[in-house]
Structure 1
Amino acid sequence: MEVNGSRKRETYHHGSLREELVEACVRLIETEGIAAVSLRRVAREAGVSPGAPYHHFADRAALLSAISARGFELLTQDLLGAGGRPGTTSGGDEVARTAAAYVAFARRHPGHFQVMFRPELSEPEKHPAVQEAGDAALQVLTDLVGRLGVSDPQALGITLWALGHGLASLTLDGLLAQKAEVWDTDADDLLSRAVGQIGRSVDALTGHATGATG
């Protein structure tokens, strides 16, 4: 009966099986970590037969690469949505909103975030869609920095990426909350202040009026 039920479920969801497997894997990562992921385990989580994932993914890395690529696509959308119309705010304001969007993305999609920056898991050299999606996300930051008119946009770009990614990682790992407790402050307020500081630093660097906020 269990096998028959599994077959019925697999047939019923055949058209969207790939997406269901991806979602099941993301949920597994979020609840038990990446180490728990195997195609057999993901199949069980999705309620399909053990062989079903192989119709869409050759191996574990192929499944993780799909999660990584989708994560970068979602991140790109969020970063693009964070920026205001050029010229309506200072560069620092735009940078602050972009950094905040980066952290917010990590909070909403922790399963994706854990995979996206682990090339040994998603093997982008074998799955070019990951590299393409990652480049598109980075291009949003590159375009933003290019509009700031700084002398070394590459150095500033990688610095801003590191700051945004660091805040996101500290937030997901719970370290930001721990530090906020030690300092007797609110974690979200601390994050907002940190993001605002990034924006103010950019404005100081570019000679614009400060006032960037989280």
Structure 2
Amino acid sequence: MTRTNYHHGALREALLAATLELIESEGIGAVSLRQVARAAGVSPGAPYHHFPDRAALLTALSDEGFRRLAAELCDAKAGAPGPAAALPAMIEAYVLFAQRNPAYFQLMFRPELKKSHKSPQGEEAGEEAFTVLDDTVEACVAAGVMKPVDKDVLALTLWSLVHGLASLWLDGHLAHHTDDPEELTRQIARLVTTFMVRDEPA
């Protein structure tokens, strides 16, 4: 199938892929419907079959990013032997997701995409990602391995920390402090968890 002969279902995916490539190579500022159409090899009017404007296009990509992040966190949780061990695994998964998917991560938390164009599906995906963390904290409390603290406050504390760490790595600010940001992430994840659970995580 040539780039100028997408069937209807493939066109949307092709436009999203072209947008992702543009963000990775030139930044979010380079994204316009016309530029995306050019990159995808379709007519200038083709994107309007799926996206009424630039914000809708970026929002669709943001939604997909949240779905992928939620899946990564679920996999990290499922692969851990228990809720206490799941916490550092999920911290690492979050940070590595940002590092390996910078274009998605840049889009997912942009404030302008949280307004009128934010889709219900994207809101659900974003909530799902946080719920995985929140449920894990709740499981730690229920199992008696978590120190007695407000689980919602703790979940937000963890999210704030891990998001900040991910942003620092993605923006290049960890390069002056370590030659191995991935190992530093593992160390921070383990350290943070020891402050929050009664015993050393498995």
Structures share fold, TM-score greater than 0.5: yes
Identical-residue share of aligned pairs (%): 48
User: Does the Cα contact within 8 Å between 1:61 and 1:122 map onto a contact in 2?
Assistant: no
Partner of 1:16: 10
Matching residue of 1:72:
66
Q: Find out whether 1:120 has 2:112 as its counterpart.
A: yes
**Displacement of 1:70 after TM fit?**
0.4
C-alpha RMSD of the superposition = 2.0
Q: Is the Cα contact below 8 Å between 2:62 and 2:108 reproduced in 1?
A: yes
* TM-aligned CA distance change 1:122 to 1:51, over 3 Å: farther
Tell me the distance in 2 between the aligned counterparts of 1:38 and 1:197: 43
Gapped regions of structure 2 (runs ≥ 5): 142-147
Structure 2 partner of 1:4: none
Q: 1:32-181 residue pairs with structure 2 within 5 A?
A: 32-84=26-78, 88-89=81-82, 91=84, 93-121=85-113, 123=115, 126-149=118-141, 150-180=148-178
Shift of 1:146: 1.0
Q: Over residues 141-174 of structure 1, what are the superposed CA-to-partner deviations in whole Å (9 max), with x where a residue is unaligned?
A: 1111111214301110100001111111111111
State the AA in 2 paired with 1:100. E
Matched with 2:181 is 187
Residue 210 (1) aligns with residue 200 (2): yes
- Between Structure 1 and Structure 2, how many residues are aligned? 195
What is the identity, as a one-letter code, of the residue corresponding to 1:65? T
Shift of 1:126: 4.5
> How far is 1:128 from its partner?
2.0
| TM-aligned CA distance change 1:152 to 1:133, over 3 Å | same
What amino acid is the match of 2:136? Answer: L
Q: Secondary structure at the match of 1:69?
A: helix
| Offset at residue 176 of structure 1 (A) | 1.1
Q: Once the two structures are superposed, what CA deviation does each residue of 1:35-60 show, in whole Å capped at 9, x if it has no partner?
A: 11111111111111111100000001
The answer to whether the Cα contact below 8 Å between 2:83 and 2:139 also exists between their aligned partners in 1 is: no
The 1:85–1:34 alpha-carbon spacing in structure 2 relative to 1, beyond 3 Å, is closer
- Does the aligned pair in 2 maintain the 1:64–1:122 contact within 8 Å? no
Gaps of 5+ in 1: 1-7
Q: TM-score, normalised by structure 2?
A: 0.88
**What is the CA-CA distance between 1:123 and the residue it aligns to?**
3.4
Larger Rg: 1
Q: TM-score, normalised by structure 1?
A: 0.84
